[in-house]
Amino acid sequence: MKRFLILLAIVALVGCQEAPRQAKYVFFFIGDGMGLAQVAAAEAYLSNSNGDLGFDALNFSRFPVLGTITTYSASNWITCSSAAGTALATGTKTTNGMLGVTPDTVALKAITYKIKEAGYKVGVSSTVTLDHATPGAFYANAASRNDYYTIATQLPETGFDFFGGGGFILPEGRRKDQVRVTDLIEQAGYKIAYGMDDFRQLSSTDKLVLLQDETRDFMGALPYAIDRREGDMTHADIVSAAIEFLENEKGFFLMSESGRIDWACHSNDGKTSILETLDLHQAVQVAMEFAQKHPEETLIIVTADHETGGMALGWESQYNMYFDQLEEQKASKDILLQSGDDKAGEIVVEINRRARIGWTTSAHTGIPVPVYAMGTNSELFMGRMDNTDIPKKICEAMGVDF
Ligand SMILES: [Zn+2]
* pLDDT tens, position by position, 289-306: 999 999 999 999 999 999
Q: What is the mean pLDDT of residues 260-269?
A: 98
Domain residue spans of the chain? 25-398
Using the mean position of ligand 1's atoms as its centre, give its distance from the Cα of residue 214 in Å: 24
Using the mean position of ligand 1's atoms as its centre, give its distance from the Cα of residue 73 in Å: 14
pLDDT band at 8 (very low <50, low <70, confident <90, very high): low
Q: Looking at residue 204, what is its pLDDT?
A: 83
If one counts every other C-beta atom within 10 angstroms of the C-beta of residue 117, the result is 13
More confident residue, 90 or 205: 90
Fold of 25-398: Alkaline Phosphatase, subunit A (3.40.720)
Using the mean position of ligand 1's atoms as its centre, give its distance from the Cα of residue 98 in Å: 14
Using the mean position of ligand 1's atoms as its centre, give its distance from the Cα of residue 363 in Å: 7
Q: Is the pLDDT of residue 63 over 90?
A: yes
Q: Looking at residue 337, what is its pLDDT?
A: 92
User: What is the tens place of the pLDDT at every residue in 324-360?
Assistant: 999 999 999 999 998 888 898 999 999 999 999 999 9
> Is 0.75 surpassed by the pTM of this model?
yes
Picking from 400, 375, 376, 371, the residue whose alpha carbon sits closest to that of residue 388 is 371
More confident residue, 260 or 317: 260
Q: Looking at residue 99, what is its pLDDT?
A: 98
DSSP letter at 402? -
Using the mean position of ligand 1's atoms as its centre, give its distance from the Cα of residue 225 in Å: 18
Whole-angstrom distance, CA of residue 377 vs CA of residue 224: 33
pLDDT band at 257 (very low <50, low <70, confident <90, very high): very high
Q: Looking at residue 278, what is its pLDDT?
A: 98
Using the mean position of ligand 1's atoms as its centre, give its distance from the Cα of residue 307 in Å: 8
Q: What is the mean pLDDT of residues 4-32?
A: 74
**277 within 8 A of 269, measured Cβ to Cβ:** no
Using the mean position of ligand 1's atoms as its centre, give its distance from the Cα of residue 117 in Å: 31
SS (H, E, C) 245-309: HHCCCCCEEEEEEECHHHHHHHCCCHHHHHHHHHHHHHHHHHHHHHHHHCCCCEEEEEEECCEEC
Using the mean position of ligand 1's atoms as its centre, give its distance from the Cα of residue 80 in Å: 6
Using the mean position of ligand 1's atoms as its centre, give its distance from the Cα of residue 381 in Å: 24
Using the mean position of ligand 1's atoms as its centre, give its distance from the Cα of residue 87 in Å: 15
Q: Is the pLDDT of residue 6 over 80?
A: no
Using the mean position of ligand 1's atoms as its centre, give its distance from the Cα of residue 32 in Å: 7
| Mean of the per-residue pLDDT values of the chain | 94
Using the mean position of ligand 1's atoms as its centre, give its distance from the Cα of residue 263 in Å: 6
